[in-house]
Amino acid sequence: MGSTLRGTSSILGKLFRDGNDQTAWCQLVDRYAPRTHQWARRFGLSPHDAEDVTQVVLIKLFRQLSTFDPKKGRFRSWVCRITHYTTLDFKKEKQRSEKRLRTLLLQKAEAAAALEGLLDEIMAAEIVEAAIERVQLRVSPADWQAFQKNILDKVPAKEVAKQLKLPSIAAVHQAVSRVRKRLRKEKEKLEEPNLHTEPDR
């Protein structure tokens, strides 16, 4: 232990005299990088995270060495405290990063679900539109006009009967019912999977 303290004191003495002494810096790194890594592991970090913290601590030593006061404690204890606080900061930042990642993944999942829902709505609307186009060509003009005015244009049945000169409101409802039935059938046909379509490769 004594030789270690004397060795550290000698290195620090060189660095206090010349902060650019590369040999002394290398000696300090060789001496304290393994210890810093061990301390970080004891503070609960994985080997990989402890390596990251060690690099941060070494950078702090390079920047803050001039603030070390031997009168207030041993250099080893000072480095250990720096490692401890750096580890705490690292854990907090990692938790924040993981929280941001979880939030991002949730947002992406919600966006994907919203897009899928939108696509379903568009597909459903296209099916209805196609069914309407087919039915319009297959029912009588009178039935289609009654359906269009009463259902699509939301004109009251009484007014539709008057405009189309139909005998009664019941005649309007009957025409609408006939068109609705055809629409349901066409919609079912369009929604059925095409068995002749080749699968995606």
What tens digit of pLDDT does each residue of 133-164 get?
A: 888 888 899 898 988 889 888 999 999 899 98
User: In Å, what is the CA distance from 181 to each residue of 148, 160, 167, 174?
Assistant: 14, 20, 22, 11
What is residue 200's predicted lDDT score, i.e. its pLDDT?
Answer: 43
What is residue 130's predicted lDDT score, i.e. its pLDDT?
Answer: 87
User: In Å, what is the CA distance from 48 to each residue of 26, 31, 44, 55?
Assistant: 22, 20, 12, 11
Say how far apart CA 24 and CA 15 lie, in whole Å.
6
Q: Which residue numbers in the chain have pLDDT < 50?
A: 1-5, 195-201
What is residue 193's predicted lDDT score, i.e. its pLDDT?
Answer: 57
- Specify the CATH architecture of the domain 2-98: Orthogonal Bundle (1.10)
pTM (2 d.p.): 0.51
